[in-house]
Homo-oligomer: A and B are copies of this chain.
Amino acid sequence: MKKLVIAYSGGLDTSYCAVSLSKKYEVHAVSVNTGGFTKAEIDKIETNAYKMGVSTYKNIDAVATFYNKVVKYLIFGNVLKNNTYPLSVSAERIIQAIEIIEYAKSIDAEYIAHGSTGAGNDQVRFDMIFQTLAPNIKIITPIRDEKLTRQQEIDYLKTNGIDMSWEKAKYSVNKGLWGTSVGGSETLTSDKPLPEEAYPSQVKHAEEEKVKLTFKKGELVAVNGVENEPEINIETLNNLASAYAIGRDIHVGDTIVGIKGRVGFEAPAALITIKAHHLLEKHTLTKWQLQHKEYIASFYGMHLHEGQYLDPVMRNMEAFLQSSQDKVSGDVTVTLKPYHFSLDGISSKHDLMSAKFGSYGEENKGWTADEAKGFIKIFGNQNKIYQQVNSNSDD
């Protein structure tokens, strides 16, 4: 039988695929952990995978890869899609797709399968990454092609001896390092918020808590003084802040296929890290660095969202972003509160707000009143000329 690699999550859809494809192919199931799985969950997925008849199962730990290849740049760029969404799932899918296709190439698979429907973004990300990195490996997508109902899938599995409980959760949840997405009947409407219980974390602490985040060249290198790899620090921050139910929101965005989509999410570490990092940048970067970063970061987010991660322009943007982080080092203090957080302030030896050079609105140490007047006069020169040239012209 020909080798096939399947992106396997253990849910109903990929279980159906695993079972049905195993009849024709030598199926190698792969799941990629980008921060959402515990060891116990992975073990359970593995056990189930073999029940579905796959030849091998492999879990790839891609948390560090995920951070280094994508999340890092999302932080450098303070990327929030439509000023809201940290692109949690969009970013994960890219790395998952890359890891899976590389695995497929490494075992000389002829086929690769994924469980996406034809209605969303994931199919685009998977197909595009697969086709680009391995144009000769054929893609198989039973869910998209066959358009079965859940019941039909369950029945099929039962017929094939898989009698598990496939009860549909009220809310579909996708968990990862950079955030958890939450879909439900409400997110299919435009007007309804998700209820409290739809979110994975609930408020456990009522009292405020201060957290010190330490950045070095834009990377989160310590939380409360404890140094660790950035991806570990993000996880630590997720744990601290989810006790306050921080980081919930609903994103409404443009899918790659042209329709609007709405999804709830809970991303405490992502939102806090980005806001803290941005504050540190406001103190350490120049006006033009802040301005041009906006353009770069906005398009970086758009292209990533749309599955264009392999476009070389992404590497060019990453070079810009990396270069911009040279002085983004220092501490940021954040106060966690139920459902929200605030930024206390920063401390950095690269802080450009130094009383040595004058205090805004208070004292001009670096220049005289006359120099200020000269500045303003010439700074406003063009508008003055424009006004005078055009003041008495009719057209």
Residues of chain A at the chain B interface (Cβ within 8 Å): 78, 82-83, 117-124, 127-128, 131-133, 135, 141, 144-145, 147, 183, 188-193, 216-217, 248-250, 252-263, 278-279, 282-283, 285-296, 298-299, 302-303, 307-308, 310-313, 315-324, 326-327, 329, 333, 335, 337, 339-340, 342-355, 357-364, 366-390, 393, 395
Contact = CB atoms under 8 A, between A and B. Distances in A.
B254 A191 contact: no
A258 B381 contact: yes
Contact of A132 (B252, B321, B387): B387
Contact of A188 (B141, B292, B298, B355): B355
Contact of A369 (B144, B259, B292, B371): B144
A285 B261 CA distance: 13
Contacts of A354: 385, 389
Contacts of A323: 315-316, 318-320
Copies of this chain in its oligomeric complex: 4
A290 B375 contact: no
B367 A193 contact: no
A384 B131 contact: yes
A318 B326 CA distance: 14
B316 A191 contact: no
A385 to B, nearest CB: 5
A353 B312 contact: no
A229 to B, nearest CB: 18
B329 A379 contact: no
Nearest to A172: B361
Contact of A190 (B83, B135, B283): B283
B133 A387 contact: yes
B252 A389 contact: no
Contact of A364 (B119, B303, B318, B395): B119
Given A310-B383, A364-B119, A191 B258 contact: no
Contacts of A344: 191-193
A367 B377 contact: yes
Given A286-B312, A342-B193, A345-B193, A375 B117 contact: no
A362 B299 contact: no
A286 B261 contact: no
A337 to B, nearest CB: 7
Residue from A260, A282, A346 having most chain B Cβ neighbours under 10 A? A260
